[in-house]
Structure 1
């Protein structure tokens, strides 16, 4: 069973310009930091960075291949499904992983766990997610509790917020459903700093502080 993983990257981002190659204070780029985790996932047979700009090669490490993608995948009109489909047309595999470097602190063991659930335990897909049990409001009304009888948070229903470090799926799952999460997914729970997801400049500043603390310990 061949397992292929890829990190989709575009070098121009609207919300946080250049975030994928933005450097922490020690000079390490975000994408490089994440690739250092992925190369330690033993189940992965082939690992790619899927990018339209060959300048990304400057940030790769041994064990990672560059795969050029069409420039139209960098536009706002391109969907995650379009990107996955384009990769699958170029690289043949039985199981695919889509990994996003904007969640740089997810451990390699979590990704291995996702792969194992899909390859060995009958799940058609798996993904990393943060478990949320909080008092939620929507449009001025309590969403998941009775305001007149407020429960303990541990008694609230659990919701799961996707953490984009890893989406694992079988080839046939995507081909039949045209999506990265199938009908029988395994949710791999992550917590703490593993839940960090970089969307905005302030998110990167938080990630930088955590990263620098970790390497200076």
Structure 2
């Protein structure tokens, strides 16, 4: 079973300028997830999917560069367009889609999720953060009743997808355009591991975490 990991990269990020190449712990942000993927047991190939080949010289050992069309760097580009383009060029039985914005995800977390899918017990996997507090959706309580307020320790938790990784078979994406199937394994991560860098304040938090870890 061939398993390929890929990280879509664009250099013209809007919300955090130059985010993917900005230094975190002394190296470009994108290098953290790439190096993590090279340490995941069961992954055969790791790719960066980027339009700008100048990043070749920055890639960790073992990471392959695959150039994509600059048209995929538009602000209006959908994720599915990028995944379609990659899967059309690189065939695999399983894909691990990961993002540079999650620098603290552990290789062990991805390895465990990958093993669950490879075993056939689950048809896909994704990372998520458990939120056990009072949640609302569309103007109504989501996980409790207004006339029956539980303790936070016993309230039904909700789970939020993080963008760290998704694992899916070729048939699920190419056939149904889904990265999560009907029997997914949910890899629950703590807040730091699941940190997703979308805004400047997220990067500032990541810098504090990196410094505390001596990175």
TM-score (norm 2): 0.94
In terms of mean alpha carbon deviation, does 64-73 or 27-36 score higher?
27-36
For structure 1, the residue ranges without an aligned partner over 5 or more in a row are: none
Q: Tell me which residue corresponds to 2:12.
A: 12
8 A Cα contact 1:96 1:169, kept in partner: yes
Q: Partner residue of 2:21?
A: 21
Deviations 1:41-92 (A, max 9, x none): 1211000000001122232011001000111111122211111110011111
CA deviation after TM superposition for structure 1 residue 170, in Å: 0.5
Residue 201 (structure 1) aligned with residue 200 (structure 2): yes
Match of 2:124?
Answer: 125
Conservation of the 8 A alpha-carbon contact between 1:81 and 1:180: no
Structure 1 Cα separation of the partners of residues 157 and 175 of structure 2: 29
| Cα deviation 1:8-63 (Å, max 9, x = unaligned) | 00001111111111112x42111112222111112110000000011222320110
- Give the equivalent residue in structure 1 for 2:3: 3
Q: Deviations over 1:136-180 (max 9, x none)?
A: 235665332233432112322222111111100011111221121
Q: Which residue of 1 aligns with 2:214?
A: 215
- Residues in 1 aligned to 2:137 and 2:15: alpha-carbon distance in whole angstroms: 25
The structure richer in helix per residue is 1
Matched residues in 2 for 1:181 and 1:127: separation? Answer: 7
Give the 3 Å change call, closer, same or farther, for CA 183–21 of structure 1 in structure 2.
same
| Alignment of structure 1 residues 158-173 onto 2, 5 Å | 158-173=157-172
Q: Secondary structure at the match of 2:5?
A: strand
The runs of at least 4 aligned residues of structure 1 exceeding 3 Å deviation read: 137-143
Distance, in Å, in 2 between the alignment partners of 1:27 and 1:173 is 38
Distance 1:200 1:80 in 2: 19
Higher alpha-carbon deviation: 8-17 or 143-152: 143-152
